Structures are given as structure tokens and as C-alpha cells.
Amino acid sequence: MEQIKTDVLVIGAGSGGLSVAAGAAQMGARVVLLEGHKMGGDCLNFGCVPSKALLASAKMAHQQTKANAFGVSDQVPQVDYAAAKAHVADVISQIEPMDSVERFEGFGVRVIQEYGHFISPSVVQAGDHQITARRVVIATGSSPLVPPIPGLDQVDYLTNETLFEMTETPEHLLIIGGGPIGMEMAQAHVRLGIKVTVIEGAKALGRDDPEMAAIVLERLRGEGVEIAEDAMAKAVTQKDGVITVEAQDGRSFGGSHLLVAVGRKANMGRLNLEAAGIETHKAGITVDASLKTSNKKVYAIGDVAGGAQFTHVAGYQAGMIIRSMLFGLPAKARTDHIPYATYTDPELAQVGLTEAEARAQYGDKLTVTRFESHHNDRLIAERNAYGLIKAMVVKGRPVGVSIVGPQAGELVNLWSLVIANKLKMSAVAGMVSPYPTVGEINKRVAGAYFSPQLFDNPKVKRVVGLVQRWLP
């Protein structure tokens, strides 16, 4: 048994773990990184990267059916599903070197390709290695949640960990779960010529602003995605190549393939957290504002910490704890400036509070400002002018922004910057945006906030009238 002593031990080589390992090693700390599965974690191999690559294939197919308005003949796309999956694999292979063992060993990180578990509050065992570290970072991520639906364990179902390896073309894809993963994959597959039914126990995209979600759902239904809401799955059966999902209200849905996309669960089972005195809760490991666990030498970041399950959150939290671990400086993670996006077409993005959340928190102090994207000249030129942006503003400062429409995931970047730095709407209004760009939408919603104060204000008109009388 090899005994290893190090400054920082990172368990998990997903987005958060890799960020900690690279940052700490390049700043001079001794770092050991454990990964028993694939370098790059869920995001590279089963999540963000492959899903966006498949969405890109689907977008190319869809554009062929909408070319006539531009003076180009519409075409019926000839889709090769296996080739689309080959594109996905190629995209992953191009990014893999950035997350590889060799790259991180080049940073000076000791990479051990084994799962790790605690054998005491300060020692972790991984294969034939026992590691004692001054600080430990748990970044083991999450896995697909498989609900206890009767019969599901007897069915050949898919999750995001197996979907992208499948090369046979589904005839009819059933998707249990109408959240971001479910809706992205629904649109991707219907655009690739596959019949799709989404079965959602409550409301599709139910965590988002209802007004914004409705715009996305209308577009998906228009493209042929069947979305059954309030359809809680009661049982699943498979017979003669047909998978049937029965809902509690008596509805049933049959298809050739089934994707389960109802959420994620934190990866904690292998860690033996009890041996380290680390407390947990239903969603993951319990952490304080500085991301420390009940064992103050151990941090938890990313999905396993039970908060927002996004790659960029793990990366942000990695930066927070490096400040604490390496420099001994106080660091508290924030959530108010964390954006997220669903990459359907139209995209759906949010940062800060939704309208409902802001009204509940601020009441009459809240101003909601809107701008309709069909007034954006660039989107008009590209025949893609639809969508909406809403800014929730309190005393001139935005506390939340909701966006639906083309490039919503790009547009929300600016608002994350604004909220992170506690800037006011005047800062956005003072920005000069090149014309014609989609980004003008952000400036226009800021202008809409100030318009009533300038154009509908009798005092302003009186002042202007007086000034005009006295000007030479």
C-alpha cells in the first residue's frame, strides 16, 4: 500500500475537480486527483458537450426545411442518425485532450485512476494508495436519477449516460421528464425525423418563468413534439418491441425507445462519508457558505454539494475554494448572479430572480421591464424575430432577468456581469452596442426601463420647455 501525503486531494475529475486541480497545482500546491471513471466527468462525456453537439446536427436538418423564405428551396433532410452520433463522438474527442490525464500530469498533478473512499477523517484510500491531505475536495458530481416506477427495471430504458452511444434510429422516442434535458433531447430528435412524446408528471419546464416557458413549448409542439403534462408515470411495460408508459390518470403512451430524464442524484455512495464525519442531506453533501463540509478539512463542490447542478456552478465554486485553501482568505459562494440556460430553439435563460420570485420578495418596490425581440433588426433580417426579455428591477438595480429567444444563453452573460457587480440599469443603458446585433436587446430593455421616467414625466417636459425658452 503506497502512502501519499499531499496538500490538496481532489476526488472526481469533472468540471469542478479539474478546475481545482489545475489551479492549485499551477499555484504551487501538491495535488492528487482521483478519477475512477472518465476524465471530464458527465459534462464532457454524457451531458453538456454531447447534447449540444446533437442539437447542432438537429439544427442543420431543421434549417433545410425553412430555407424558402430566404430564396433557397426547402429540402427534406436526409438524416443519418448513426452519422449524427459520430459527429457527437468526434466533438467529444476534440475536447478530450483538455481534460486528459496527460495534460493534468503536465501541470504537476498526480492523477490516480481509481475511485476513492474515506477510511478516516483525514485519509482516503484509492486502490493500492492511501492519501493523507491537508485539504480534500469532493467533486464527484451526479448521475441520472431513475425513479421507482413499477416495471421500469424490466425495460430497456436510456439515460443521458447511454443515449449518445446508441446509433440505431428510434422509431418513436418516449421521454419521461419535461425538464431541460428532456426538452432539449425531444427537440433534437424530432428535428432528426423521429417521433417524440414527452411525459411530464407536472408542468414541462416547470422551474422556469411560465410566460417564457410557454413560448418554448409552443415552438416545440409546432415542430411535432407531443408534450403530455400532468401525466405522472404509474407503470412501464415492454412487449413485442413496444414500450408502454401508463400514467396515473389512465393515459398511456407507446413507443420504441424510452429516455428517462427526471433529474439527477448526487454521487456519494462510494465515498464512505461516515468515516470522515461528513454530514449529508437528501440532495447531497451538507456544506456551509464557504463550501466546507462538517469536516472542516473537506470541501464539496458542484452537483454533489446539492445546489444548482450546472457545470459553470462547479467551475465558479472551484475558484472560491482555491482562494480559501491556498491563501487562507475568506470566501463565500453566491448564487444570485449564477445564470443558466436551456438550449432548445428558442433558448431559455435566467439569472437572478424570476418575476414571481421578485414580486414575492419585493412587492411594490419591483418594476418589471420588458422588450419584445421582434423589434430587433438583426433578428428581423434573419427571419428569427421572436422572443422576450424581462428585467426585474428594484431601485434601479436588476435583481433578475429572464430571456427567451435566439441566443438567450449568450444574452444572459451581460446580466450575470451586471448582477455580480451590483451595477444599475443605467450602466446597461449607457453601453453602446454595434448595429445590427442581437445584443442590442439588452440595451433596449434598459432603455425601456428609463422611457417612462423621461418621456411620460410632466416634470421633464416642463424643464425642457423652460430650457428651450432661455437657450440663445
**Domain boundaries of the chain, sorted by first residue:** 2-39+100-144+265-327, 152-262, 339-455
Q: Is the dihedral of CA 119, 124, 126, 129 positive or negative?
A: negative
pLDDT computed for residue 455 by the predictor: 60
Q: Which helix (H) or strand (E) holds 281?
A: strand 280-281
Cell numbers 410632466: residue: 458
Residue 174 near residue 197, CB atoms below 8 Å? yes
Q: Is the dihedral of CA 355, 359, 360, 361 positive or negative?
A: positive
Residue 113 near residue 35, CB atoms below 8 Å? yes
Strands (E) across 75-209 are located at 110-112, 117-120, 123-126, 129-138, 142-144, 172-176, 195-199
Q: What is the pLDDT along the chain (472 residues), one digit of tens a residue?
A: 899 999 999 999 999 999 999 999 999 999 999 999 999 999 999 999 999 999 999 999 999 999 999 999 999 999 999 999 999 999 999 999 999 999 999 999 999 999 999 999 999 999 999 999 999 999 999 999 999 999 999 999 999 999 999 999 999 999 999 999 999 999 999 999 999 999 999 999 999 999 999 999 999 999 999 999 999 999 999 999 999 999 999 999 999 999 999 999 999 999 999 999 999 999 999 999 999 999 999 999 999 998 888 999 999 999 999 998 988 888 888 899 999 999 999 999 999 999 999 999 999 999 999 999 999 999 999 999 999 999 999 999 999 999 999 999 999 999 999 999 999 999 999 999 999 999 999 999 999 998 777 566 677 667 667 777 777 7
Query: How far is the CA of 456 from the CAs of 96, 100, 452, 468, in angstroms?
Result: 56, 59, 5, 18
The CATH fold of domain 152-262: FAD/NAD(P)-binding domain (3.50.50)
| Domain 339-455, second-level architecture | 2-Layer Sandwich (3.30)
Question: What's the full length of the chain, in residues?
Answer: 472
pLDDT computed for residue 228 by the predictor: 98
pLDDT computed for residue 73 by the predictor: 94
Same CATH topology for 2-39+100-144+265-327 and 152-262? yes
279: left (phi over 0), alpha (psi -120 to 50) or beta: beta
Name which CATH class applies to 2-39+100-144+265-327: alpha beta
Query: How far is the CA of 41 from the CAs of 38, 139, 142, 162, in angstroms?
Result: 6, 10, 9, 14
